[in-house]
Amino acid sequence: QKEVEQNSGPLSVPEGAIASLNCTYSDRVSQSFFWYRQYSGKSPELIMSIYSNGDKEDGRFTAQLNKASQYVSLLIRDSQPSDSATYLCAPRRSGGSYIPTFGRGTSLIVHP
Amino acid sequence: DAGVIQSPRHEVTEMGQEVTLRCKPISGHNSLFWYRQTMMRGLELLIYFNNNVPIDDSGMPEDRFSAKMPNASFSTLKIQPSEPRDSAVYFCASSLGQKDPLHFGNGTRLTVT
């Protein structure tokens, strides 16, 4: 089993819709969870972090974490064409020599 | 905050040549990472430093790759000799602590012909 799994997509949604991006991870000791957005030809940029079970909202973005199910998701409300990018999930364990691992990412396309 | 600074932005070289990529992490960040990104393999971690000490280099492809971090504000990734299959975008990232998010530089796009 891969450490971090994401549907590669592309996920295509109409402008104004809710985009739902999912991620499962295998390391039960992961404590921090990050979502990065990567535009084509650019570097990944952090958009959300979540550390506790439940939901965390920031503007149009909501991250949801369920540690028991080893599942983290990102919801984007009122999707805009500017949200079109690849979204990378990255769980991280604190301490030791744990290597932060990124999923392959989900490509999101928001069409007008 | 200038962010993570990488140089050069683009590098085109011929097979067999030495390539050196440079990175300046965010001031105060204790961890530094070198990643390689390709369409086929996604983001792969090459090596991870904590407090300037290499913690894990198991992602380094082979002996042609080496990385150093002589001080807290500078790191290099060297490829010698370079091969066409090394063509990729190389990212440097830093983080404040071991459970904190990574901040990426703009990357170096390497093309080996």
State which residue of chain B sits closest to A96, comparing Cα positions: B98
Instruction: Report d(CA B44, CA A24) in Å as an integer.
Output: 18
Q: How far is CA B11 from CA A2, B7, B64, B100, in A?
A: 32, 9, 17, 30
Instruction: Report d(CA A90, CA B86) in Å as an integer.
Output: 24
Q: What is the mean pLDDT of residues A45-53?
A: 93
Q: Which residues of A touch B (CB under 8 A)?
A: 31-32, 34, 42-46, 49, 88, 90, 92-105
Instruction: Report d(CA B34, CA A23) in Å as an integer.
Output: 23
φ/ψ (deg, to 5) at B86:
-85, -10
DSSP state of A40: T
Contacts of A103 in chain B (CB under 8 A): 42
pLDDT tens per residue, range B53-96: 998 888 898 899 999 999 999 999 999 999 999 999 999 999 99
Which of the four pLDDT bands, split at 50, 70 and 90, describes residue B21? very high
pLDDT tens per residue, range A64-108: 999 889 999 999 999 999 999 999 999 887 655 566 778 889 999
What's the pLDDT score for residue B61? 85
Contacts of B105 in chain A (CB under 8 A): 43
φ/ψ (deg, to 5) at B112:
-110, 120
Two tokens, residue A59:
């503007």
> Considering CB atoms only, which of A31, A95, A99 is closest to B48?
A99
**DSSP three-state, residue A98:** coil
Among B47, B41, B89, smallest CA distance to A2 is for: B41
φ/ψ (deg, to 5) at A21:
-115, 130
Q: Do A42 and B106 touch (CB under 8 A)?
A: yes
> Considering CB atoms only, which of A31, A42, A100 is closest to B102?
A100
Average pLDDT, chain A: 90
Instruction: Report d(CA A5, CA A24) in Å as an integer.
Output: 5
φ/ψ (deg, to 5) at A25:
-135, 155
Which residues, at least 6 apart from B106, have a Cβ–Cβ distance to it below 8 Å?
A42, A43, B6, B9
Q: Do A90 and B102 touch (CB under 8 A)?
A: yes
> Considering CB atoms only, which of B45, B104, B107 is closest to A99?
B45
